[in-house]
A and B are shown apart, each in its own frame.
Chain A
Amino acid sequence: MILTLSEREMEVARKVLQREPNEAEWRMLDVLWSEHCSYKSSKVFLRSLPSEGPNVVMSVEDWQDAGAVDIGDGLALVLKVESHNHPSAVDPFNGAATGVGGILRDIISKGAMPIALLDMIRVGELNEKGKWLLRNIIAGIGFYGNSVGVPVVGGELSFDSTYNDNPLVDVACVGIVDKGSIVPSVVKEPGLRLVLTGFTGLDGLGGASFASRKLSGNDEIGAVQIADPFAGKIVIDSTLEVIKYVDAIKDLGGGGLAVAVTEMANGLGAIVNLEKVPLRVKELLPEEIIISETQERMLFAVKPENVEKVCSKFKEFNYPCEDIGEITPDRRVKFLYNGKTVADLPSELLLSPPLNLMPSERAPRRYNVPKDVTIEEAINKVLSHPDLVSKEIVYSQYDYEVGTSTLVKPGEADSAVLELPNGRLLALKADANQDLCSEDPYECGKSIVAESFRNLSTVGARGIALVDHLQFGDPRKPHVYQDFIESLRGIAEASRFFSTPIVGGKVSFHNEDKDGNPIKPTPLVVMAGLIEDKVVRNEVREGTLVLLGNTRDETRGTLFSRIFGSWGEVPKARLMEDLLASKLILKGISEDKVLWDKDVSKGGLAGALLPIIVKGYSVKIFSSSIIGTSSLIGKMFSENGGRFLVITDDPQWFTYQSGRLGIQASIVGKVEKGSSLWIDNKEFKMDGIIDNYFSYLEKVVWS
């Protein structure tokens, strides 16, 4: 029995119980007190995230549930992000696929119909292992998402050697539900029956504890769950049909029955008769049934008279569904097997692990000596970096058209746009930035929220809510813990500034390589917004290039610095500039002044020009018109925020309006037919970069 509990935690358990827990009870405590399920090292700080707002329908008292925001006409949007990092490192196909299945069940457990998925993938070098990981992660996401018919409408793909051993596989899902019919995850009264649907198998034993420690390098395949999207589809459809007969729903994820029952009881008690649990394999031990994390299972709290109505729906599809126990008033969670007590623990103990506040200390800043990088070298290396190449080969493996509502499709713009059942348009975007976070996690936390806000603006949307996912190494390391606190502060600050409440989130610690080095801190946010007035169909055309915002010479913690080394200043998030520039973009879109636009982020201005060039256009830049720095490298590669690049036929409108709003904007260039980048009078041939843009991933990963 591998337990991740510390000596101190075991002492607390013994003291409260005044006895030695048996093996099944230790295992329950192990999963419930795992970092994955209990947030014991992060909870104190998570409380500082702004989760309230006028449009928030359901916030996150319980951090494992999805939050919901009002989107008008009696509808609410349910939003959630999760990762499957550890399983994906061991079995990328099933790890990534079950990540999709798990998040879909989170959405339906609120009674909401899932309408879109986003996937964010970070892998290391593209050696044999890296390619194997990437191919299988993408195949796994497609396998599940395509089969159940939920479109994958956006995401991110980044390559950084920090993820060589520990890839990050994040998936976000949104769903739609009538505001009045959101189903809670917890019960308020005893007497309800506990109904379980789905078979329980041997897979995913101890998955939550597995995710709460560093990868051992040993055979850990048994901790990975196996994906079955056909069963997943039955669960989705049938669950949504029975929601009117249920009082609470919880999907079975990390920690299996132990966690689902305990959290659903929410301080009340529960009795579960384990012999009634439908099994996929015979002769599972009772304690294995308690902690198995087999997918495609849901737990319902149901009034006794409704049990038959709920189960008959599943049985129509020959899907197992059983009454396995009930919610009791006695505040104890009991698992029985043929009447014999297997585990009997107080709810209070299970739900309150001793919280940790770890020592924290900021890592000393590295001061590298600046290198001489020529503009030619910089353009060639940055613009051919795999982070900036076309991701078509990835998203074409996802069925992004299913649902007939994907208006702005993957690769078309900085955000995806979907048609909602009430006719409104929803924009979605996810952002993370491991380069900046490894230099300054606080600025990075602010910056990724600001970037999402800008990304939504580029299609005409204003951000309304977000979810976050905080991914770090071992929190017992003071530098890691400090990075966690700082990035969380940054995210909290920016989301309060933009009035985009955080309605859900997740923490994933223990992301380290096999030598015990933590990954670069990688907090990630997913923001949802609504189109304010008009949506832009981002089509590159000939026209004038206008740059909104101020360009600073800030190249530390950028893609440029990942390639050439980190020196100089860190891009700081000046949130007011992001807000004002976003306002101007929205106004430009509603007055039809924007032909094409993009926010300036990864790769700086040069990176923002690449999508224009690869569409068969030349770009001419007048470098002296770029406001804010005299350094050419800074002008082209700085990643400071608050900026948008726009193609327009009416540049004067932008220069005039920017002055009225209190920001800077200038005419920085022209777009013409061709395939070159001109900076002043110097021509940079782009043919090699264009070819690399279209062929890189296919050539390196899929051939």
Chain B
Amino acid sequence: MDVLKALKLVKADAEIVLFNKFDPDHYQGVVLPGGFSFGDYLRAGSIAANSEAIKGVKEMANEGKLVLGICNGFQILVEAGILKGALLPNLNLRFVTKWVWLRVKRKDTPFTKESKDVLFMPIAHAEGRYFLDDEESASEIAVLQYADERGVPTSEANPNGSLMNIAGITNEGENVLGLMPHPERASFRSISPNGSSDGLHILKVFGG
């Protein structure tokens, strides 16, 4: 619902599709929003990743269509093998909601090509510590990093212990983006603590 509300701001022609009624051929792009799919009882995103609908998402990813996974959506993309790596429990083992600054490390993805260098968005997750056993390729696929206000990825700015402060990654084709922060919650000036709407920088790619 929140994502739909934000997508309307960028004039995207979007609708909500139930998990069991998804037809990938019908859409140009897809957003997997946050939200404790199937209660996240086994491991965040793992049950959803094996659902019928995600096969459709995989097809879309392979066809080069835009796929955005936010928070639980990111966890699902990783669990489904559409994106590399894993999202482990936060180092402090707690759920955390917090507004964070993000450095946009790569601007060659469709989601970030016209973005500002530093974005302000909230995170809200318990399993967001990005991990990949190959640091070099992690560095290559990293699109967003937790940073300080000036855009420097410091260890203090890392809220969950992510490898290299990674907050979001892309695939080889650069048409898939997974990120732990919530752009849709940073799309409305009234509720942003500093009056910004940086989430729109990510979402506007879906605009009509």
Contacts and interface: CB of A to CB of B under 8 A. Distances in A.
Nearest to B38: A230
Contacts of B95: 142, 146, 396-399
Interface stretch (A246-254, A400-408, A635-643): A400-408
B94 interface: yes
B182 to A, nearest CB: 7
A403 B34 CA distance: 11
B122 A229 contact: no
B38 A404 contact: no
B139 interface: no
A147 B37 CA distance: 9
B98 interface: yes
Interface in A100-147: 139, 142, 146-147
A318 to B, nearest CB: 10
Contacts of B1: 403
Nearest to A392: B98
Interface in A225-240: 228-231, 233
B207 interface: no
Contact of A405 (B6, B36, B39, B191): B191
Interface string A353-387: 00000000000000000000000000000000000
A149 interface: yes
A73 to B, nearest CB: 18
Contacts of A233: 36, 39
A419 B189 CA distance: 12
Given A146-B36, A149-B36, A419-B190, A404 B184 contact: yes
B36 A396 contact: no
Interface in B165-208: 182, 184-185, 187-188, 190-191, 193
Contacts of A412: 193
A7 B127 CA distance: 54
Interface string B1-35: 11001100000000000000000000000000011
B96 A397 contact: yes
Contacts of A33: none
A604 B187 CA distance: 39
B52 interface: no
Contacts of B41: 230
A407 B190 contact: yes
A55 B191 CA distance: 28
A45 interface: no
Given A147-B40, A403-B2, A396 B182 contact: no
A702 interface: yes
A228 B40 CA distance: 11
B8 to A, nearest CB: 12
A147 B95 CA distance: 11
Given A146-B36, A230-B38, A230-B39, A395 B97 contact: yes
A401 B36 contact: no
Given A409-B193, A419-B190, A402 B39 contact: no
Contacts of B188: 404
B19 to A, nearest CB: 10
B157 interface: no
Contacts of A395: 97
B124 interface: yes
Contact of B97 (A229, A396, A404, A702): A396
Contacts of B193: 409, 412
A347 to B, nearest CB: 38
A139 B93 CA distance: 11
Contact of B124 (A229, A231, A399, A702): A399
Interface in A136-165: 139, 142, 146-149
B60 to A, nearest CB: 24
A397 B191 contact: no
Interface string B113-154: 000000000101000000000000000000000000000000
B72 to A, nearest CB: 10
A147 B124 CA distance: 11
B94 A397 contact: yes
Contact of B39 (A229, A399, A403, A409): A229
A147 B185 contact: no
Contacts of B34: 402
A405 B192 CA distance: 10
B29 to A, nearest CB: 21
Contacts of B92: 702
Nearest to A539: B193
B191 A146 contact: no
A148 B39 CA distance: 8
A403 B190 CA distance: 13
Choose among B6, B94, B184 the residue with the greatest number of A CB atoms under 10 Å from its CB.
B94
Contact of B191 (A149, A407, A702): A407
Interface string A255-277: 00000000000000000000000
A622 B1 CA distance: 52
A471 to B, nearest CB: 28
A463 to B, nearest CB: 22
A462 B98 CA distance: 29
Nearest to A698: B92
B25 to A, nearest CB: 23
A169 B207 CA distance: 45
Given A398-B97, A404-B187, A404-B188, A146 B2 contact: no
Contacts of B124: 146, 399, 401-402
A230 B36 contact: yes
Interface string A19-46: 0000000000000000000000000000
Choose among B2, B36, B187, B193 the residue with the greatest number of A CB atoms under 10 Å from its CB.
B36
B198 to A, nearest CB: 14
Contacts of A419: 190-191
A404 B185 contact: yes
Contacts of A409: 193
A412 B36 CA distance: 27
Contacts of B184: 404
Choose among A228, A231, A399, A702 the residue with the greatest number of B CB atoms under 10 Å from its CB.
A399
Contacts of A146: 36, 95, 124
Contacts of A231: 39
Contact of B35 (A139, A149, A401, A404): A149
Interface of A: 139, 142, 146-149, 228-231, 233, 395-407, 409, 412, 419, 702
Interface of B: 1-2, 5-6, 34-36, 38-41, 92, 94-98, 122, 124, 182, 184-185, 187-188, 190-191, 193
12 contacts: A142-B95, A146-B95, A146-B124, A149-B36, A229-B36, A230-B38, A230-B41, A233-B39, A401-B97, A401-B191, A404-B188, A407-B190
Given A230-B41, A231-B39, A401-B122, 10 more contacts: A142-B95, A146-B36, A229-B36, A229-B39, A397-B95, A397-B96, A402-B124, A404-B184, A407-B191, A412-B193
CB-CB nearest 9 A-B residue pairs:
A230-B39, A147-B36, A399-B124, A404-B2, A401-B185, A401-B122, A397-B95, A396-B96, A142-B95
